[in-house]
Structure formats: structure tokens, C-alpha cells
Structure 1
Amino acid sequence: MKLSINQMRAVEAVVRTGSFSAAAKELGISQPSVSNHLSALEKHYNTQLIHRNGRQAEPTEACREVLSRIRSVLAITNEIEHALEGRRHLRAGSLRLGYSAHQFAMPILSDYMNRFPDVEIEARAMASHDLLPLLSDGKFDVAFITAKEPPATLHATRICSQKIALVVPRDHPLVKRESLNWAEVSALALVQREKSSGTRQVFEKAASEVGVELHTVLALGSWGSIVTTIHAGMGVGVAMQGEVSAADNLATIPINDPNLTVGHYLVCLPEMQHVAAIKAIVTIAQSRSSYTSM
């Protein structure tokens, strides 16, 4: 038999209150349970710990020898429980997340930070397929990814569906067009994300399926650098329509292909979905999710 926290609590409460019934009331258990804890200890160690004098209970010499250490263990246990309770109620703790498109992640993260200001946040921007191995290795708690479908091995919350489109300055000649076909796209100098980008992978797979060879002149890692490059006239961008905001001063042009729709997801390992900090952000993502393609 291993000495348990509950047994130590029973010993300490009986000594301090001087009564089995008072100890039971304080601990929120029955008096027979307190007696059983003490009896099990005394029987296992063949040592009397409590003198039972009628209704009075007094510690023996053996009990006094270990009582201070029992109280020390219980104090440390209480500290641990208090810290864990803080994390359970999100009065403390941390959340490590990765995101591939800040336009979809930041509104959810902002809501989370407003609700749980005591949780420390660590966030990194990376391409979707670079995020996944880090999530699996425990480097991130959750990740926002872009994909046709999320990996079946992950717990996923769909945030929105997005059309992939071309992106140009508002004064670009292509703005007059309602849409382009793949043959026209193949003639353009394209600015895309890195090859591990979920958007790029879906875009290039759709092009390959219709036998179109793309001309990508630049691969960039951030949306800000793509916006700057597009405005500099260095190429036509490729992005999800929802990535483009009014502040970017850009226009989107659809491509005639129904396969150019992707989802944006919040994902985590299945065994982590019930951790308080992760459960909270999943709940927020679910409340803000939209299944409408933009």
C-alpha cells in the first residue's frame, strides 16, 4: 500500500480537530471513511497513530514524529492544486499557437485574450504544412491552417470556406474582368506563398488537374511582403479572398474553377481538446465559424 494524500489529510485533520467526526465534517467525507483511512495506515505500518479516548482523538508519539512532514506535504499539495485550478479556470497558464493567415486567426485570438487576460499567449506565423509537424511534436497547442480538408488525425474546427483568387492593384487592367480562365492565368507572372502554404498547394493542384503550367516568379512568406510586391508591379498575387482587406488597396479576381475553394481550420491533437486553454479557444472558434465561401 502506498501512503496517499487522502490518508495524510485524514491524519492531519483528526489531530488538529481532536475528533473523527469533526475531521470528517471538515474534509467533506463520512466519519467511517476517516476511520478507514487511519485504520489502513495503522494496520499497514503496524503502528498506532491516534489514541482514541472516547470522543477525543490524540496523536501518538509516532504520529508526532511525522506530523510536521505530513503538513509540509499537504501544504505543497495545496499549492499544486491551487496552481492547477488557476489553469482550469484560465486564471493562469499559457497557449502556444501557430497561424498561417492572420486575417482569420487574429479576431479569434483577440476575443480569447479579452476573455482570458491572465493566459500568456505565444503565437508564430508559418505556412500551414510547416505548422502540422510542430503541432504533432508538441511545439504548438493549436494551429490555424488552410487546407482542402484537415488531417483526419486531428481535432478540427472549421472557421470558414474561402475562394482562391488572383490579387492585383485596384488600377490594374484585369480589374475590369469578372473572372479569368486557366489559360489566361498561365500567361501571368504570379506571386505566391512558399511551397508549404496550404493555399498554394490547393491552387497548384487545381492547375495541374486541368493541365495548366503556372509561372510563379516569387514565393514569399508573409502577406505583408506579398502586398508590397503586388503594388510594386512585380506580379499578380494568389490568395484567399478573405485575406484581402480594404486597407490593402487591392482587388480580387475569381478564376473559373469550382475546385479553388479551401477551408480554414483551427486544429489540435485529439487528446488535447479537453485542456482548458485549448477548449476555450476552440469554443470561441466554433462561435465565430462561418461556412459561407467568400
Structure 2
Amino acid sequence: MNLFQLRAFDAVAREGSFTGAAKRLFISQPAVTGHIKALEEYYQIPLLRRTARRVEVTEEGARLAAITRSIFGLVDEAQALLEANRQLLTGRLEVAADGPHLVMPLIASLRARYPGITVNLRLGNAQETLAALLSEHADVAVLTEVEPRNGLHLQPLGESRICALVPAQHPWATQSEGIQLEQLNEVIMVLREPTSTTRRTFDEACLAADVQPKVLLELDSREAVTEAVAAELGIGVVSSMEVSPDPRVRAIPLQGDGLVNHHLLGCMERRRSLRLIQAFFELAP
């Protein structure tokens, strides 16, 4: 079955004339006539009746027109949907992030500029976020300290510094200029699990500086670290981008080498030209 012929017949049935059909399809009138003639001859059935004023469908033509109206009505709906996505009037973006602090302003900017876009955000640790992106369960991801690799497009998003998290009444709490990493040697600490990016950066800096803190607790969330510090179980560490207002604790910058984390916005290289993904990258500072 030739869909071009069916499309021409459908246009004539809708418009009631070959001229109207030609304008609807942006082709010449002889082309429309040729398609209809070929369709009628192939199936040996009259579909249209020409009168002095207009073109009318035959009984069989009316039955076919009911079918083609449904077929090409769905095609028009599909085209409208795709065009709306291309113009970012509608659409859905799957976003993954290893923390809420950088990604939330980006989502807010996207929603302000393109209010028809729906965003699904999944938060996880660094490994989970990268895995979601690589498996294409996420369209874009906010990542920390990710090494370049084939097939992955990365754009710098900013950097943060590792801070010591201390109880509000701790002697270091007033040292806004920061403390030296060496001051944490032999200090009792409560830290995230070793797979945490913040913990890994801190451990590598301590190893390079020959600093050996005493790790009392290993916890699986930033919130748990904050609660442990507030309970005076030890000193914690936190990224400067993840400091939340809490009168019970203070974040003090750590001074030393290797205490900076680099944050990136990533997507799969082969998908970076998709309009919605491009729009999200354009919002990055």
C-alpha cells in the first residue's frame, strides 16, 4: 500500500477539491491527481466522483475516508507532539545528581524558561549517579570528580572546598578564616562511608599530608554526619556546597592541598545535540 496515495486521497476527501488538497500537502495539483488515479487503478475501485463544483467521495470512498482520517489524524497528533518537544513546549527530562545543592538552581532555571517541561530528579551517591547516566536512565547528571571517558560529554560546573564540621560551641567554631588540615591529626572524627566523594577527597589529602585522624563512626548520609557532630561525637567533614543552616554546627574551611572538588554537568556524547539536553547545558553558569 502506497501511503503517499492514501495521503493524497485523504486530503481530497477533507478539502473537497484537488486544488485544496494540493495546498494542504504542499504539492502540485497534477501530483495529487496522479496519486488518486494510481490508487483507483491499482485497486480497481472508484473512490471519488467529480462534479462541476466539487469532488465527492463514493460510497467506498467514504468508508476509506473514515479510515484515513483516523490514520492521518494520529500522524498529525504525533507531528504536533514532536514539534512541541522540539520547541520545548512540552517534554520530560531525567536528571541525576550526587547532591541537591547544584542541581536545584538549574532545575529552577529550566522550569522558569520552559514551564511545559517535566523534570524527574533522582539523587544518589557519586557511583549511583554516574551509573544512571551511563545506563541512560538519566539524560543529564550533575557529577563530582569524574574522569573523562569515551562517549561521555562533561562540562565544568564549579568547584567546592572541603570544610570541617564542628559543634557550635567548639573552640574552632569562631575561626572563620579556617584551620590547617594538620590540626586534624589524631582528632576523633565522624565521616561518610569511604565511597563518598567528599570522604575520598579528604582521605587522599590526609594521606598526602601524613595526617591520621581517628575515625570513630562511618555514616551513610550528610544528615547523619551533621547529627553526630551536633551530638559532639566527633568532627565531621562536608563540602562547602553542602553546608545547610543549622545552629548546632559550624562549617570551617580546611586549609591544605588537595581539598577541592570539581563538579561537572554530564550527558552521553551521542545525545548532547538533543534540544532539551542542549537547553539544560545552556543554563549552566
Give TM-score, length-normalised by structure 2.
0.80
Kept in 2: contact 1:167–1:251 (CA 8 A): yes
Cα distance, 1:146 vs. partner? 1.3
3-state SS of paired residue (1:229): helix
Give the corresponding residue for 1:220. Answer: 219
Kept in 1: contact 2:88–2:116 (CA 8 A): yes
Match among 117, 120, 135 for residue 137 of structure 1:
135
- One-letter amino acid matched to 1:10: A
Kept in 2: contact 1:148–1:262 (CA 8 A): no
Give the corresponding residue for 1:268. Answer: 267
Equivalence map 1:250-269=2 (5 Å):
250-257=250-257, 259-269=258-268
Rate the CA distance shift 1:88–1:37 in 2: closer, same or farther, 3 A: same
Give the corresponding residue for 1:292. Answer: none
Equivalence map 1:106-255=2 (5 Å):
106-147=104-145, 149=147, 151-175=149-173, 176=175, 178-181=178-181, 183-210=182-209, 212-247=211-246, 249-255=249-255
Deviations 1:159-218 (A, max 9, x none): 21122232223432234374313x433422333333332222333333344555554333
3-state SS of paired residue (2:131): helix
Whole-angstrom CA distance in 2 between matches of 1:110 and 1:229: 32
Rate the CA distance shift 1:82–1:221 in 2: closer, same or farther, 3 A: farther
Rate the CA distance shift 1:106–1:273 in 2: closer, same or farther, 3 A: same
Rate the CA distance shift 1:145–1:44 in 2: closer, same or farther, 3 A: farther
Q: Percent identity?
A: 30
Whole-angstrom CA distance in 2 between matches of 1:122 and 1:72: 33
Rate the CA distance shift 1:151–1:43 in 2: closer, same or farther, 3 A: farther
Cα distance, 1:40 vs. partner? 6.2
Kept in 1: contact 2:47–2:60 (CA 8 A): yes
- One-letter amino acid matched to 1:266: L
- One-letter amino acid matched to 2:95: L
Give the corresponding residue for 2:82. Answer: 84
Give TM-score, length-normalised by structure 1.
0.78
Report the more deviating stretch, 39-48 or 135-144: 39-48
3-state SS of paired residue (1:171): coil
Q: What 5-or-longer segments of structure 2 have no aligned partner? A: none
Whole-angstrom CA distance in 2 between matches of 1:71 and 1:281: 38
Rate the CA distance shift 1:149–1:136 in 2: closer, same or farther, 3 A: closer
Kept in 1: contact 2:151–2:270 (CA 8 A): no
Rate the CA distance shift 1:29–1:216 in 2: closer, same or farther, 3 A: farther
Rate the CA distance shift 1:220–1:98 in 2: closer, same or farther, 3 A: farther
Rate the CA distance shift 1:254–1:15 in 2: closer, same or farther, 3 A: same
- One-letter amino acid matched to 1:254: L
**Does structure 1 residue 97 correspond to structure 2 residue 95?**
yes
3-state SS of paired residue (1:233): coil
3-state SS of paired residue (2:68): helix
Report the more deviating stretch, 206-215 or 68-77: 206-215
Give the corresponding residue for 1:72. Answer: 70
Kept in 2: contact 1:168–1:250 (CA 8 A): yes
Kept in 2: contact 1:127–1:221 (CA 8 A): no
Cα distance, 1:76 vs. partner? 1.8
Rate the CA distance shift 1:275–1:20 in 2: closer, same or farther, 3 A: same
Cα distance, 1:12 vs. partner? 0.9
Cα distance, 1:126 vs. partner? 0.9
Deviations 1:50-109 (A, max 9, x none): 567899655566644422211111122222233333433444333332222212111222
Whole-angstrom CA distance in 2 between matches of 1:198 and 1:30: 64
Whole-angstrom CA distance in 2 between matches of 1:215 and 1:32: 87
Whole-angstrom CA distance in 2 between matches of 1:188 and 1:46: 93
Q: How many residues align?
A: 282
